[in-house]
Structure 1
Amino acid sequence: MLIMNILIESTKIKQGNHYLNHKINYVESEKMNLYLHFWGGGTFSQKDFFSKHYQVYYILNGEGTFIFNKQDYPIIPGDLFILKPHAEYKLEDKSNVKMLFFAFEPDSLTESKELMEFFDRIEGVEDFEHLLLNDQFNMGLLWKEILIQSNQQTIFTQEIIEPLACTLIKIIIQNFYQQIIGLKSNDLKNSKVLESNEIIYNAKLFINDNLAKPLKLSEVADYLHVSDRHLSRLFTKHLDVTFTQFVRSEKMNKAAILLATTDLPIKKVAQKVGFDTVHYFSSVFKKVMDIPPGEFRSRLQSD
């Protein structure tokens, strides 16, 4: 196999990424919108890899071994791979590995069922080889050209860079899409449904244990080691409600129980389900239960 090292000075990588991080933060198209959280690259010294977002890496030069799910996967120049959120990887036996990467998060995929399925499938991939593309030298050359042009800093730079960067990202996503969407079901987690049920079950437990807090989707997703988007999709798919609707319902159910079974002042009840003010709590309670909390308690006592 012919190994092609793509050479680019570290200073150009650093300066180019500085420009990209300021100017290229979003990719918008008819089928797909992506937030770009960070552009980076250089010689990697770290051993452990973890991110809350999707990350795409390209190997410029050097070699190493990626470890995922206790399996070893050699990486060489020309390799392009995608890391899924909340997954842990290790890079061992690295020999001056120089890489380029960007971190991203899908946005507004609801109009494209194909892309929704694509990102759902990534969540179920267990073998790193399915997240790896070999011999992607054309991608490396295009990426290098983007960095070189980003160093120019002329009146034409942004006009040149924006379409090039968007084209690079779209081609990369397209190439991974073709590979991952073609996987057979047995290449994905056999326990995908069971795993989804387990995530929902543990999410419910965490929510009910923390009703006194102003729970956020990101907080629960971090606790469960899944992406915000994936957890949100599971709530909609399996419970037919949004995360926010579920949390609000659980808080109001807990409040109703406290109003019915204790003599706690309404202010205390509000605090126990994560509300700072009685006014806001009463407003939400009435919206969900069709009756103000004070009247709810009075009717129970009169009965």
Structure 2
Amino acid sequence: MYLWNQSEERLNRFAGLLKGERLTFQIHYWGTVRHLTANVVHKHSFYEICYVNGGTATYAEGDAEYPLREGVLFCSRPGVYHQIKDVDRLDLLFVAFEPDETQSDANEFELYDRALKQGAVWLENQAISPSVQLWKSLLLPEGPLRPMPVSLLPQLAHALLVSFQAPLGGALKPEPVQQASNNALLINRAKLYIRDNLSGNLTLPEVAHYLNLSERHLSRLFAGSILESFSMLVRSERVRAAERLLARTNDPIKEIAERTGFASVHYFTRTFTRAKGISPAAFREASRRNE
């Protein structure tokens, strides 16, 4: 199914130091091994996360023992004595690493390190988890399937290590996260639809239907979220689009009026002048002088 030795070699060659915007990881080694034998009691100064792709064994950590079988993800933490024993044809994926405190955001480093140190040691039923699926995408497949391009390995390997924080640290109380409200997302979608369809006869029912909302609900969203009615928003977007076309093109004013959804040149000129304090022709002339 996979080219184990070649996959290990490729990862160790191209996915070493993994730099991210807020977290950076030092990789000590990647491993992809079939039929692993038992090892002695030992410890590391770094994290080693393993996934069982087949076979069975027992993972011992201190006085605790955990069964290893296909689908199990487990984490050996720094300074903790551990051992894999009672092995029967064990196939493992593993990666040894540590987050780089000097090259990471201090808060992100603390959250990640705490999640892995205080979180779960052993998780089962991980075969179709996002982390394991991402991990396997880094391997070289047998047969006609094309492998992931080498150029993507560092980014995807970084994403894999970041992803371990969720399952292994899942038992910890999550940090509060600021999220955009659903109302804000709906308003943004409405604005994008309006901007992309200005030449049409935009109506509140049309946009509400696009968003799968009632007209009343959408109207309340506009009034409550942006303190602007639907008609006011459409008008301001038409004027904004006309500004760009007047400044950047030589298109006739009549054509610009049509493209931005105004019913007539007269209505366009009156609306634009009221909004900008200057006629479309004068605005175009002024914009050219300021270039």
Q: TM-score, normalised by structure 2?
A: 0.50
Q: 1:155 to 1:100 in 2, by over 3 A?
A: closer
1:20 counterpart = 2:14: no
Which of 1 and 2 has greater Rg? 2
The answer to whether the 8 A contact 1:83-1:131 is kept is: yes
Distance 1:93 1:155 in 2: 34
Shift of 1:149: 6.1
1:130 counterpart = 2:120: yes
Distance 2:67 2:37 in 1: 17
Q: 1:14 to 1:50 in 2, by over 3 A?
A: farther
1:63 counterpart residue number: 56
Shift of 1:77: 0.9
Distance 1:24 1:150 in 2: 21
Q: 1:94 is matched by which residue type in structure 2?
A: V
| Deviation digits for residues 68-92 of structure 1 (CA, Å, limit 9, x no counterpart) | 1212211221111111112111222
The answer to whether the 8 A contact 1:149-1:157 is kept is: no
Q: 2:133 is matched by which residue type in structure 1?
A: L
1:144 counterpart = 2:136: yes
Q: Give the aligned CA root-mean-square deviation in angstroms.
A: 3.1
1:158 counterpart = 2:150: yes
Distance 2:140 2:91 in 1: 16
Matches within 5 A, 1:3-82: 8-9=1-2, 12-42=3-33, 43-48=35-40, 49-82=42-75
Matches within 5 A, 1:1-303: 8-9=1-2, 12-42=3-33, 43-48=35-40, 49-107=42-100, 108=102, 111-120=105-114, 122-123=116-117, 125=118, 130-138=120-128, 139-148=131-140, 157-180=149-172
Distance 1:110 1:24 in 2: 17
Q: 2:18 is matched by which residue type in structure 1?
A: V
Q: 1:82 to 1:92 in 2, by over 3 A?
A: same
| Deviation digits for residues 258-287 of structure 1 (CA, Å, limit 9, x no counterpart) | xxxxxxxxxxxxxxxxxxxxxxxxxxxxxx
Distance 1:150 1:111 in 2: 39
Q: 1:181 to 1:91 in 2, by over 3 A?
A: farther
Query: Can you give the 5+ residue segments of structure 1 that lack an aligned partner in the other structure?
Result: 1-7, 183-303
Query: Can you give the 5+ residue segments of structure 2 that lack an aligned partner in the other structure?
Result: 175-291
The answer to whether the 8 A contact 2:24-2:99 is kept is: yes
* More helix as a share of residues: 1
Distance 1:66 1:21 in 2: 25
Shift of 1:140: 3.2
Q: TM-score, normalised by structure 1?
A: 0.49
Q: 1:109 to 1:173 in 2, by over 3 A?
A: farther
Matched length: 169
The answer to whether the 8 A contact 1:60-1:77 is kept is: yes
The answer to whether the 8 A contact 1:121-1:180 is kept is: yes
Shift of 1:38: 0.4
